Amino acid sequence: MGVVALSAAAGGGAAWFITHEQGDHIEYIERTVERAPALGTHFTAYESGQYPDLTYAAENAVKAVVNIEAVQRVEMPSRGQFGYDPFLEFFGFPQGYGRRGGGEEPKYRERKAGGSGVIISEDGYIVTNNHVVDGATKLRVQLNDGRTYDAELIGKDSSTDIALLKIEEKELPTLPFGSSDALRLGEWVLAIGSPYNLRSTITAGIVSAKARSLGALSNDPQDFSIESFIQTDAAVNPGNSGGALVNARGELVGINTLIQSQTGSYIGYSFAVPESIVKKVVVDLKQYGVVQRALLGIGFDAIDQEFLDRNGEETGIKELGGIYVGLVEEGGAASEAGIRKGDIITEIDGVPVNDAATLRERIARHSPNDRVKISVKRAGKVKLFEVTLRNKAGKTDLLTKEDIDMAEQLGGKFAEAGERLCRELEIKGGVQVVGVKADGILARARVKEGFVITHINDRAIYSLADLRKLTGKITSIDGIYPNGRSASYMLVE
């Protein structure tokens, strides 16, 4: 029989070879093998017993991961008062283009979507992604053992893509929270969910990066979205959204949220909301019904090479690292503490801050009226400021459920009305509706895309910032359509 190598060391020493075998007898001969030069590469022996045993984590965590079915009530498109026109559809107009004729009532159908969730308390609280439940009129939860329950939506937060559900049951299996801060690059993790209706699917990978910001939740840098994702190479596909990211000890360290792919399927990059954000959001939703979001009140840029190339000469900054304060909101938390435009934030509560994702995540851990210590470099000297954080209205008070975000109540997607549009409509400013969600005020009032909101509750809305600062109950909406037609909507109970 030919010679077959079983193992060999890189370098001199003994190696074992099979020289021949007869029946059940195998003869081994020990030979000395000359070592090849290391060529500058360091190899570390890896004993088989050192590999992580993920069976305990998998077998326990899978019991607390559920399947979520979200049922949406969707309005069926109208053929329009002149009937179906294939010419219009050919040029990109929807089948519903035009008005309903003859007093035709809207027709609806049910559309089902799905995702995953994680049981975090024995009495039935379940955390998932906001995008899994957004717009749903009915929610059903199926446990790992097959039991199925109707679920109540306790609250949701589009800024972090986290939602909290509740089912009526006791003594349920749960996943304990771990520490996303303690995760190390290269550490093994499990992704558990139900992609393609394959319940209890488990994949493994390593932590590839932390504090990733993708602009996936919002492309608006002035939005309140919080992105500080854990990146892994554990396979995640549609249906995994809202599932658990688990460490080798069986602890919940993140909620699987999205993938980065040109095909819509997994190609090696998946992202999870870290436990540090998830825990804060679900505690707030359970206790208050809304997220107690703290704001620093600044506009900023990470000082990276791009910043230096673009602004280095103007600002006089020559070194990488830190966060450049480009704007300080009057009356905001930073302003009141003494932070000024041109300052460079280097640390928050002793943690180095060198990118936007880390800054947002450190602040997102807190509530209004919490105090944080911020180290700032100014004129070559480091100063320490104690900052009392504020809510989006510029106050230190906690919000109640009655102070719900007006943009959330409206149920839509919005953009700044550009200068050209404002000139054409002869308005000072406004917020244009670029999308309408099924469960919001805009949909119920039958507001169409393109409508420019100029006033809410008789308060002028010139920008997205004006809209986001408003809280309370909406009673009236005023605005104008791109064709110049003004419209007012009064909301009555």
Q: What are the catalytic residues?
A: 131, 161, 241
Output 327-330 pairs: Cβ under 8 A, ≥24 positions apart: 327/298, 327/299, 327/300, 328/297, 328/298, 328/299, 329/297, 329/298, 329/299, 329/394
Distance CA 218, CA 224 (A): 9
Question: Residue 363, class by beta-carbon neighbours within 10 Å (0-12 exposed, 13-18 middle, 19+ buried)?
Answer: buried
From residue 7, give the alpha-carbon distance in Å to each of 44, 116, 166: 15, 44, 55
Q: Within 50-100, where are the H helices?
A: 55-61, 86-90
Strands 270-274 and 252-259: antiparallel
Q: Rounded to whole angstroms, how far apart are CA atoms 455 and 459? A: 5
Query: Is 454:480 a contact under the CB 8 Å cutoff?
Result: yes
Length of the chain: 493
User: What is the DSSP track for 108-125?
Assistant: EEEEEEEEEEEE-STT-E
Query: What are the beta bridge partners of residue 108?
Result: 75
The CA–CA distances, whole Å, from 272 to 41, 220, 259 equal 34, 21, 9
- Which 3 state secondary structure label does DSSP give 270? strand
Number of Cβ within a 10 Å radius of residue 170: 7
- Phi then psi for residue 408, to 5 deg, are -70, -40
Q: DSSP of 274-341, one letter per residue?
A: EHHHHHHHHHHHHHHSS----B--EEEEE-SHHHHHHHHHHHT--S--SEEEEEE-TTSHHHHHT--T
SS3 92: coil
* Residue closest to 43 by CA, chosen among 6, 17, 9: 9
Contacts of 206 (CB under 8 A, 6+ apart): 185, 186, 187, 188, 189, 232, 233, 234
